[in-house]
């Protein structure tokens, strides 16, 4: 059995509120060595949702993001609010960003963003039988265009690299395995 690293101490070196905090940790390795000033990044946990309509079309956004050059395709996503359960956040974000609700929810797992530096946890969900029930109420900073894509269109977009963020590509691949 492999032993875990131990956190001996932590000190906040940058605090930008709820979206970013950086700490220096002192950690002890399983062999007893101690590393000082191990950077640890604290960002909010987030959800991503691949939502499928009754006719198996996938809801996606065409959008821009600050760290991505040009346009990208993206699933539904957003941060968890304090004390919010991941599934509740996924359902809330689907409704806010698209105006859709889904009858069936499949947990596709949760994944640490950076295994050495933290940076939050991604919670992935597949939402099936999604239907529009209201207008969008998104408060996103970027421009977004809501698209309905077929499986073939999504697979072609994956091949072209149109899902330009690793979590987006990963959830789409996981969802395709469930379709």
> What digits encode the pLDDT tens for the residues 66-112?
888 889 999 999 999 999 999 999 999 999 999 999 999 999 999 99
pLDDT computed for residue 144 by the predictor: 85
pLDDT computed for residue 139 by the predictor: 67
Q: Which pair of tokens denotes residue 19?
A: 């979206």
Residue with tokens 């959800």: 47
* 164 within 8 A of 77, measured Cβ to Cβ: no
Integer Cα distance of 91 and 15 in angstroms? 30
> Residue 51 pLDDT > 80, yes or no?
yes
Give the number of C-alpha atoms closer than 13 A to the C-alpha of residue 159, restricted to the C-beta side.
6
Q: Assign 19 to helix, strand or coil.
A: helix
> Residue 28 pLDDT > 70, yes or no?
yes
> Residue 140 pLDDT > 70, yes or no?
no
Q: Assign 102 to helix, strand or coil.
A: strand
pLDDT computed for residue 60 by the predictor: 95
Integer Cα distance of 25 and 45 in angstroms? 20
| Cβ partners under 8 Å of residue 65, min gap 6 | 72, 74, 142, 164, 165
Superfamily for domain range 46-178? Nucleoside Triphosphate Pyrophosphohydrolase (3.90.79.10)
> Residue 141 pLDDT > 70, yes or no?
no
The model's pTM is 0.91
Q: Which pair of tokens denotes residue 113?
A: 């963003």
């Amino acid at each position: 059995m492999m032993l875990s690293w131990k956190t001996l101490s932590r000190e906040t070196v940058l605090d930008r509120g709820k979206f970013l905090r950086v700490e220096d940790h002192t950690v002890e390795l399983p062999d007893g060595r101690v590393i000082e000033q191990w950077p640890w990044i604290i960002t909010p946990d987030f959800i991503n949702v691949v939502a499928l309509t009754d006719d198996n079309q996938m809801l996606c956004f065409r959008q821009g993001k600050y760290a991505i050059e040009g346009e990208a395709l993206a699933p539904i996503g957003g941060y968890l609010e304090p004390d919010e359960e991941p599934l509740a956040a996924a359902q809330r974000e689907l409704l806010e960003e698209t105006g859709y609700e889904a009858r069936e929810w499949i947990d596709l797992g949760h994944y640490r963003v950076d295994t050495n530096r933290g940076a939050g946890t991604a919670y992935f969900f597949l939402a099936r039988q999604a239907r529009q029930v209201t207008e969008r109420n998104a408060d996103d900073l970027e421009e977004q265009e809501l698209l309905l894509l077929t499986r073939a269109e999504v697979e072609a977009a994956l091949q072209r690299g149109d899902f330009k963020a690793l979590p987006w590509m990963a959830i789409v691949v996981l969802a395709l395995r469930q379709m």
